[in-house]
Amino acid sequence: MTLLISDDVPNVKFEITRRREGYVQDEVDEFLDEVTTTLRGLEERLGMGPGATTGSHQEAGIILTSQDVRSIRFKTSKFREGYEQPDVDAFLDTVAATMETMEARLNRGLYGADTSAYGSAPGAYGNTGYTTGAGTVPETAGAMDDPQYAEAIAQRDQYIAQLQQENAYLRAELEYARRRLGTTGF
């Protein structure tokens, strides 16, 4: 999924409906203005845009959350021109994914954070009967009932989740850099 930058939002164009149900254009346009403001605020807070700040969400112009984007419901119109609902919904999914990535970076302090927060990979999950190959192989038959084993599995799962978040952050950063440089290919 392609992540957005704030400059992408004002340039989006949706198909127009005629004589069938579509989202009321004014409502969608007003909401997209708020999305643009929020993305700019997130970019500034994360040091991705001009005038990076370290203030509160309101100081940085963050007025929406990804949850707000996911839960928005627009009025529909059957007899006036409107925006194609699937087009708007697909774009809002991309907006929400972008915002989730940026919020995760902001909330967890990943931007410029020390990667040691994710722990050390070798031996981080204990050594008793634990491997990272095709599966887990207990050292003894009762190892799966061992609390240390369960704790090691939980730590592994947490580590994997953190690595996935870091991967999403790096992909977003790469996409942002490509857009700023005007390149799209590898």
* Per-residue model confidence (pLDDT) at position 183: 62
Kindly indicate the confidence band of residue 151, based on its pLDDT and cuts at 50, 70 and 90.
confident
**Residue among 38, 4, 10 nearest 106 (CA):** 38
pLDDT digits (tens, 9 = 90+) for 94-144: 999 999 988 888 877 644 444 333 343 333 333 334 344 444 444 444 555
* H or E stretch at 89: helix 85-108
Clarify whether residues 61 and 127 are in a common domain: no
Q: Are residues 91 and 37 in the same domain?
A: yes
Contact between 38 and 99 under an 8 Å Cβ cutoff? The reply is yes
Q: Tokens 């996935």 appear where?
A: 164
For residues 151 and 13, which has the higher predicted lDDT (pLDDT)?
13
4-18, 57-71, 127-141, 154-168: the lowest-pLDDT one = 127-141
Q: Are residues 12 and 29 in the same domain?
A: yes
The confidence score (pLDDT) of residue 185 equals 53
Tokens of 77: 């119109």
Helix orientation angle between 85-108 and 147-181, rounded to the nearest 10 degrees: 120
Both 154 and 169 in a single domain? yes
* Residue type (1 letter), 34: E
Number of domains observed in the structure of the chain: 2
Q: Are residues 30 and 69 in the same domain?
A: yes
Final residue in a domain of this structure, among 66, 95, 113: 113
The answer on pLDDT for 38 being more than 80 is yes
Please report the pLDDT score of residue 109 as a whole number: 67
Same domain, 102 and 126: no
Q: Are residues 59 and 125 in the same domain?
A: no
**Pick from 94, 113, 132: which residue ends a domain?**
113
Q: What is the mean pLDDT of residues 31-55?
A: 79
pLDDT number for residue 144: 55
pLDDT the model gives residue 45: 86
- Biggest alpha carbon–alpha carbon distance for the chain: 71
Q: What is the mean pLDDT of residues 169-179?
A: 75
Helix, strand, coil percentages for the chain (3-state, nearest 5): 55, 5, 40
Same domain, 91 and 76: yes
Asked if 136 contacts 128 with a C-beta cutoff of 8 angstroms, the reply is no
Angle between helices 25-45 and 85-108 (to 10 degrees): 20
CA–CA gap between residue 33 and residue 36 (Å, rounded): 5
CA distance 179 to 54: 24
Q: What is the pLDDT of residue 57?
A: 46
**Domain final residue, candidates 113, 139, 171:** 113
User: Are 87 and 168 part of one and the same domain?
Assistant: no
17 plus 95 within the same structural domain = yes
Q: Quick one: 23 and 106 in the same domain?
A: yes
Question: Among residues of the chain, what percentage have pLDDT more than 90?
Answer: 33
Domain of residue 142, residue span: 115-186
148 against 122, higher pLDDT? 148
Sign of the CA dihedral 25, 28, 31, 37? Answer: negative
Is there a single domain that holds both residue 14 and residue 94? Answer: yes
Lookup: tokens for 124: 């981080």
